[in-house]
Amino acid sequence: MKRVLILAIVAATAGVVFGGDSQDRTGGKQIRVGFAQIGAESDWRKANTESIKAEAAARKIDLKFSDAQQKQENQIKAIRAFIAQGVDVIAFSPVVETGWEPVLKECKRAGIPVILTDRAVDTQDPSLYLTFIGADFVEEGRRAANWVVKSVGDKANIAELQGTPGSAPAIDRKKGFEEVLKQHPGLKIIKSQSGEFTRAKGKEVMESFLKSPEGKQINVLFAHNDDMALGAIQAIEEAGLKPGADVKVVSIDGVRAAFEAMVAGKLNCTVECNPLLGPQLFDAVDAIMAKKELPRRIVTKESVFEQSEAATAIKDRKY
């Protein structure tokens, strides 16, 4: 009884939701997976959560799910609660790249395999997780910059809205974008700041960019995700400018609202970053339970969408 009580307290503090019965319909032992999600900061994240929950339900997985409200300490608490519950597999999307080795070592000591989804961790010890399922963020940054070269030309003053400081997508998207800009000295990033992947912060930071002395020179916005771009589009309009024309806008994710903004002529390009990782995640869980080999890295397939194709492509979008 005492152990259960402790478990409940630990789990409750980490915002972990207990759920599921112990037997699936086939009478086999139900697989128990703990998933520590970052939060609900963007449409991309909500679609990612929906994909994971829907796939777990479809496969009758006993999913313990936690939402960390973008705080690393909450993700770590949730992972510790999953260890205490003795789940079969732990999966999570690390909000930032560093600070994970202690809790990953606890997973290893507990003999619980770990899968990274969406974002990577920075560790020297490859034994701390089995596989990383997610996009190539450096390539996404290159694709955004190549669109600027193709569509804007060799001269532009660029404002950049970065994602969460220290997160893999923010670090690598910037890296890929700047790698291409090195070949085009006329393309200059003249303002750059984090909008934390949210619409509200993206709008706030873009307002400050436009009010700055360099504000009038900005003719391209590169946002590390669609939500910040959509917030910035509001700021551009409130400044009396035409987003998509006076300021060209390129962002990353490919969420439905970005397609709607492209159809309205306010966003010029979105680089797809697929959030529908549920099927790949639970294929990896099945492989672990069957003691099959797993590739160290599973890269999701993605493309680039421009304004000219948005009205057609939006019909097929799943998120």
Interacting residues with ligand GZL (CB under 6 A) = 41-42, 44-45, 118-119, 134-135, 169, 197, 225, 227, 252-253, 273
The nearer residue to ligand GZL, 88 or 227, going by C-beta atoms, is: 227
The nearer residue to ligand GZL, 163 or 244, going by C-beta atoms, is: 163
Geometric angle at alpha carbon 134, from 129 and 138, rounded to 5°:
110
The nearer residue to ligand GZL, 84 or 271, going by C-beta atoms, is: 271
CB of 164 to ligand GZL, least distance (A): 7
CB of 119 to ligand GZL, least distance (A): 5
CB of 175 to ligand GZL, least distance (A): 14
CB of 181 to ligand GZL, least distance (A): 20
CB of 57 to ligand GZL, least distance (A): 23
The nearer residue to ligand GZL, 20 or 129, going by C-beta atoms, is: 129
CB of 58 to ligand GZL, least distance (A): 22
CB of 173 to ligand GZL, least distance (A): 8
- Is 133:116 a contact under the CB 8 Å cutoff? yes
Give the per-residue SS3 of the chain.
Answer: CHHHHHHHHHHHHCCCECCCCCECCCCCECCEEEEEECCCCCHHHHHHHHHHHHHHHHCCCEEEEEECCCCHHHHHHHHHHHHHHCCCEEEECCCCCCCCHHHHHHHHHCCCCEEEECCCCCCCCHHHCCEEEECCHHHHHHHHHHHHHHHCCCCEEEEEEECCCCCHHHHHHHHHHHHHHCCCCCEEEEEEEECCCCHHHHHHHHHHHHHCCCHHHCCEEEECCHHHHHHHHHHHHHCCCCECCCEEEEEEECCHHHHHHHHCCCCCEEEECCCCCHHHHHHHHHHHHCCCCCCCEEECCCCEEEHHHHHHHHHHCCC
The nearer residue to ligand GZL, 112 or 269, going by C-beta atoms, is: 269
Geometric angle at alpha carbon 316, from 46 and 131, rounded to 5°:
50
Count other Cβ atoms within 10 Å, centred on residue 214: 12
The nearer residue to ligand GZL, 44 or 65, going by C-beta atoms, is: 44
The nearer residue to ligand GZL, 69 or 212, going by C-beta atoms, is: 69
CB of 51 to ligand GZL, least distance (A): 12
The nearer residue to ligand GZL, 136 or 178, going by C-beta atoms, is: 136
- Is 232:161 a contact under the CB 8 Å cutoff? yes
The nearer residue to ligand GZL, 135 or 247, going by C-beta atoms, is: 135
CB of 79 to ligand GZL, least distance (A): 18
